[in-house]
Structure 1
Amino acid sequence: MTFNIFGFDFYWIEKCFGFWICIIKNINMGSRSLFALYYADGDLIINLFWFHLKGETHI
């Protein structure tokens, strides 16, 4: 399952502990990162965890 938000392609991986974990590909930059999506009260809240596949963490 994939979808696009603000030019990002989201690829669903799995849902665990209430989090959707997916790999996104930035079409413009061509970079890949891990991204966590929160679900709260039925609303989609984009969370603040960005993980580069190289192991670098951005908060």
Structure 2
Amino acid sequence: MEDYKELIKKMIAEPGKEFLVKHQDFPAFHQAWVQYPNHDEIVGKALKDGDVLYRYVPKE
């Protein structure tokens, strides 16, 4: 299982970085995501088979 808190930190620190969350790992990702204060800046794009590609989109 991934450390999604660390992945979120890395994604925010590196503009343009994306990461894939497999559908079976979504509950673990969701726990880390809701703890991030600006979680609405982490945007997901649904892919085939229930996987989601996430990226950081800061508010302007």
Q: Is this a same-fold pair by TM over 0.5?
A: no
Bigger-Rg structure (1/2) = 1
**Structure ranking higher in strand proportion:** 1
TM-score if structure 1 supplies the norm length? 0.32
- Pick 1 or 2: higher relative contact order, CA cutoff 8 A, min separation 6: 2
TM-score if structure 2 supplies the norm length? 0.31
